[in-house]
Amino acid sequence: MHILATEGLTKRFPTVTALDQLTVTVGTGVTGLVGANGAGKSTLIKILLGLLPASSGTAKVLDLDVATRGADIRRLVGYMPEHECLPPDVSATEFVVHLARMSGLPRTAARERAADVLRHVGLAEERYRSIGGYSTGMKQRVKLAQALVHDPKLIFLDEPTNGLDPRGRDEMLALIRRIGTEFGISVLVTSHLLGELERICDHVIVIDAGRLLRSSAITEFTQATRTVTVEVDEGTEPLAARLTELGQKVSPHGRLLLVEVSGPGTYDAIRDAAVDLDLCLIRLEQGRHRIEDVFREETAHV
């Protein structure tokens, strides 16, 4: 089942085309939306929330048309904006309870859900203090909590790791992964950092200048390549020479050697060469694509 689907979605502003004929579908689970700043990620989310009309094309969220069923979509979807959006003079509890009621939850249910969700995002006693005194990491958690409080079917997270330190980033990513798996809520998360999404997404959509560059499962992005990485303690150069002699294609990559795999014989050749030269073999690893590489290749083609 598709969580969302767009068809030729285009959004033109007076001076810039933010989305250009974007046709893409997203299934359940965690989906990453990658693009540089200004690639059209935030514009896409606003259109999907029914807050911004598209110039042309159509989009459906949870099988509801964004142009006509915006109010119904917003009842079932959570949204964490990229920018700061918290008033400093209220506590996290009060704020999240209030926004739960704005999503249509009755008073007691709003209180229970807010307490639950704040616990899940990891805000303990500090949730009774004013938000003004919170760290960036805590503020991001409150922003996430308000997006989850009404138990949506799908949440849009716009740059959730922005401004976080490495540890906060790791915790936020782990939390997003939990939301997508354990909580059973589909997630569309944007980022301009590909490495982040690689760790948590099932599917990645790459857009650039409002156009779709690629949309595929994470396994396709990171599938095994036909190279093997070899690391030895010393004597990288003699090993490279020896392997070339044995008819292997070798390319140096810093202190590492990348050897193209032509068959099982390649592994034997590496082993034999290391033994013959009396080298200390540290690592022999199957090469994997990283999304960064794919992104670099794709943009190079465009």
Partner 1 sequence: MSEIYDIGYRHYDGPRLGGGHATRALAVHSLRAIFGLGRTARSKIMPFALATIMLVPAVVSIAAMALIQQRAMTYSGYAVIMQAIVAIFLASQAPTVVAPDLRFRVLPLYLSRPITVTSYVAAKVAAMTAALFLLLAVPLVLMYAGELLIDLDGPPQTKEFLGALSMSLVLAVLLATFGLALASLTPRRGLGVASVIAVYLLSTASVPIIYSALEMSGYHSAASWAWLMNPFWLVDAVQVWLFDTPSHAEGAYPGGPLPAVIVVALIGVAVAVLAARYRKAASR
The alpha carbon of residue 249 and the mean position of all alpha carbons in its chain are separated, in whole angstroms, by 35
Candidates 89, 125, 133, 278: give the one binding partner 1 (CB under 8 A).
89
Residue range at the interface with partner 1 (CB under 8 A); choices 24-32, 179-187, 193-201, 227-235: 179-187
- Quick check: 281 binds partner 1 (CB under 8 A)? no
- Quick check: 99 binds partner 1 (CB under 8 A)? yes
> Among residues 162 and 225, whose Cβ is nearest to partner 1?
162
- Quick check: 125 binds partner 1 (CB under 8 A)? no
**Contact letters for partner 1, residues 42-61 (x by CB under 8 A):** -------x-xx---------
Strands 203-208 and 211-217, by their bridges, are antiparallel
Least distance from partner 1 to the Cβ atom of residue 27, Å: 20
Residue range at the interface with partner 1 (CB under 8 A); choices 32-40, 180-188, 258-266, 293-301: 180-188
- Quick check: 290 binds partner 1 (CB under 8 A)? no
Give the footprint of partner 1 on this chain (CB under 8 A): 49, 51-52, 71, 74-75, 77-79, 81, 83-89, 94, 98-99, 101-106, 109, 113, 116, 120, 146, 150-151, 182-184
